[in-house]
Structure formats: C-alpha cells, structure tokens
Amino acid sequence: MSVWKDDSTYNAYPRLVEDACTTTDGVHLEMLHSKSLDHGIPLILVPGMIGTASMFSERIEMLHPRPGIAFSHRGCGKSSSPAVGHYDFASRCLDIEAVVDHFKLKAYFLYGFSRGVPMAVQHALDHPSRVKGLILDDAEPVYPRLTHAWTQRMVAAQFLWAHPFALEQIQKESVECDLFDRLPEIKAPVLIFRGEQDGSLLSRATALKMKARFPQADLIPLPNSAHGVSPADFPDFRDAMNAFLNRLDPQPEERPA
C-alpha cells in the first residue's frame, strides 16, 4: 500500500502511481511506477548517484503499455536518510533488491543511468536468471571513490532533493568498485547509450570497450546529447529502448478503442 496515497499525485502523468517500499537494512524508498504492471516484463529504472524517481517520469511514460518502476536513492527525494554505515556501494545496491522484492518480480529488465550503471551491472551479476535485458546509459561500470570536492560541488549546485547528510555519507563511504572484468559474465542482451557532446561520462573508447566485453551488446550514440538525453535525441532514444525491450519481450498490438 502506498505511503503517500493520493490519486491526484502526478497529474501530468496520469498513468503513474507514487508508492514506497523498505530495504533489508530498514531504508524507506520512494517509488514511482505504472498503474498497471500486467503488460509485459517490467523495466526497473535506476537513477544516477543522487537521482530520484520523479526524474524518470517521462521515461516510464514512453514505455507504455510496458510497465516501468523507478525509485529514489536513499537520502534523496522522499526516501529516508539512514544513519552512518548505510551508504557504501553494497548498501546502495540493496535499493534495487527492495524494489524487486516488493513486487515479487521473477523477471524484469534493468536500466541504469549515470552512476546507476555500476549498481545495475552489479545487480545483473547477482541475479543472472531474473534480469532479461540490461540498458546502460552514459557511464562506465565503475562506482567511483568520491572526494570531498564532489560533496562541495553537489552542495553548491543546490540539488535540494538530496539530503546534505546523505551527500556527506555517500562521499565518505565511497570506495571504487570496477566491474569491467566481470562484464563477460552477463549473458543477457545489453543496450548501451552514449552522449557524444562534451559533458558525457562515457568516452567513445570506453563505450567500445564495454560493448566488446559483453557477449551480446548494441551501442547507440546520441549525437546531440551530453550527460543525459537531449530533446533532439529523445525520439531516437525512446525508439531504440522500446525496440530493444519489445524484441526480447514482444508486446501485443493495442486494440483500437
């Protein structure tokens, strides 16, 4: 049952519902998902380092009628901010586990954006039989060791959806986790997006290195995008994502009303 039960929520996206779940270490996570989860294998969307569920409203909508589920990372949006010791890479990966357990999903697709990429990759490695396809958007499969300067930049940018305490602990508890050598273990098909403008977190060389290490992978360049798809590239981004998902899990044609 939704913690924030309000049918008027997200009027701009009438097919979406605000909800919540709890991780095994006691963190309450904000979620946003399609009203119906019955039209094909769902896609779980993993935000960037301090991302929230609402940032993916448009991406969930573009999947319709396929269901989409997004969540806000611990310490971000309406998700709770746990105490010290709950912000390392392994703990943050529990956020994905909580969504899967909440909906009792046996099969799903997984999308990771930015620093959500290594979290999505780790989850796919841990659950190879459940993840039916993996979409990685504009970042390498490396969780970084963050510096104090990163925290200062985040505070200066006034990302008000991220709790200051959470920002501090994310930085302090960060340890680099490089998953490049484990990519060949992922047998599910993979789709990689890369922005080609300055500001992208994924270089062409690194993107090609990733593609070569996966047994099945396609690389889609977004020529007008930096870090995050631009309005000019959004139609191609949408079409490529839906084509990838529908190839693996065909959607029945909608009957006319």
What sign has the CA pseudo-torsion 57, 63, 68, 73?
negative
Paired tokens of 109: 């697709």
- Half-sphere exposure for 250 (CA within 13 Å, toward CB): 2
Which of 47, 67, 65 minimizes the C-alpha distance to 56?
A: 47
pLDDT band at 256 (very low <50, low <70, confident <90, very high): very low
Question: Is pLDDT of 6 > 90?
Answer: no
Would you state the pLDDT for residue 9?
52
Give the pTM. 0.93
Per residue in 15-47, pLDDT (tens digit) is: 899 999 999 999 999 999 999 898 999 999 999
- Half-sphere exposure for 56 (CA within 13 Å, toward CB): 33
Domain ranges of the chain: 16-248
- Whether residue 180 contacts residue 142, with contact meaning beta carbons closer than 8 Å, is answered with yes
Superfamily of domain 16-248: Alpha/Beta hydrolase fold, catalytic domain (3.40.50.1820)
pLDDT > 90 in the chain, percent: 84
Q: How many CB atoms lie within 10 A of CB 58?
A: 13
